[in-house]
Amino acid sequence: MMLDLSICILTLQAKDLLRDCLRSIGEHTRTVPYEIIVVDNNSQDGTVEMLRDEFLGVRLIVNDHNAGYSRANNQALQAGCGKYALLLNPDTVVLSGALDRLTQFMEAHPDAGIVGPKVLNRDGTLQKQCRRSYATPWDLFCYFSGLATLFPRSPLFARYLMTYMDENVTHKADAVSGSCMLIRREVIAQIGLLDERFFAYQEDTDYCFRAKQAGWDVYYYPQAQITHYASQGGSRVQPFRSIFEWHKSYWLYYRGTLVYWLIDYAFFSPLCRTPDAPNCR
């Protein structure tokens, strides 16, 4: 029998955060039948033992190496049997009713292929990367030059992070954050799995782009909310690998366009080390 929801969590060296994440799912998910699939990318902090001792209902896949974000999540997507698949980071806390509401939104909107919640920082402010437009050279210039910050309500200057849109109103977006992204199973059947050339970063933008190309809509739905402790997973324990993969993923996505060179130049700016830096996880 098909469940409503397969929750797919990739983890690396995030035992305590993962425990909090799993507990929040159990405490705040009331109506939707779900399964949880955790893929461990060779953690050495006791994550596997913790899961086997404390969360017997979780389906566990253990890799003997760091397989990367896309490949490991694909393992979970293939193992799941839910009508909908949720990609969820281990450094998140699900708030009251969030997964119920996301699933209900999908049921009510057959045009929606992907939906993302309102993602909050630990201080309760909006994590602006949770809804995005595709970045043009102009958008990146405005972002890194500070024009988007100076004119956050301007569609001309602030298009990339969509700060001109009310954060409390549901709307379509070009992409939502892979830290919490609900995908309709028909989308996976139609466009396939995550592109495994993206080891980390930009795979969520690429997947949303492919879904939209196939005729599906992508939605930001703020009535569902999570907290995301950004960059508290594998990237924090492998900083140099994380930087390398950041550049590689942007190169793969933009493939030599002017956009990539703008990003690559701006990466060394302090602006890119803020909590809202592109695709921070």
CA atoms within 13 A on the CB side of 51: 28
Inter-residue contact 88 to 9 (CB < 8 Å): yes
pTM for this prediction: 0.85
Within a domain: residue 158? Answer: yes
Domain for residue 281, yes or no?
no
Residue 39's φ and ψ, nearest 5 degrees, are -110, 120
In 3-state terms the chain splits into helix, strand, coil percentages (rounded to 5) of 40, 20, 40
* CATH number, domain containing residue 76: 3.90.550.10
The predicted-structure confidence for 70-94, as pLDDT tens digits, reads as follows: 999 999 999 999 999 999 999 999 9
- Cross-strand pairs, 53: none
In a domain, 18, yes or no: yes
| Exposure class string for 15-26: b at 16+ Cβ within 10 A, else e | bebbbbbbebbe
Are 8 and 86 a contacting pair, CB within 8 Å? yes
Q: What is the pLDDT of residues 159-171, one digit of tens each?
A: 999 999 999 999 9
Q: What's the total number of domains in the chain? A: 1
Residue 278 lies in a domain: no
Q: Is residue 279 part of a domain?
A: no
Range of the domain at 227: 5-273
Does residue 280 lie in a domain region? no
Neighbours of 104 (CB within 10 A): 17
Residue 49 lies in a domain: yes
50 in any annotated domain: yes
What was the pLDDT predicted at 175? Answer: 96
**Per-residue 3-state assignment (H helix, E strand, C coil) for 175-219:** EECCCEEEEEHHHHHHHCCCCCCCCCCCHHHHHHHHHHHCCCEEE
Does the pLDDT at position 281 exceed 80? no
Q: Give the confidence band of 269 by pLDDT, cuts at 50, 70, 90.
A: very low
Q: How many residues does the chain have?
A: 281
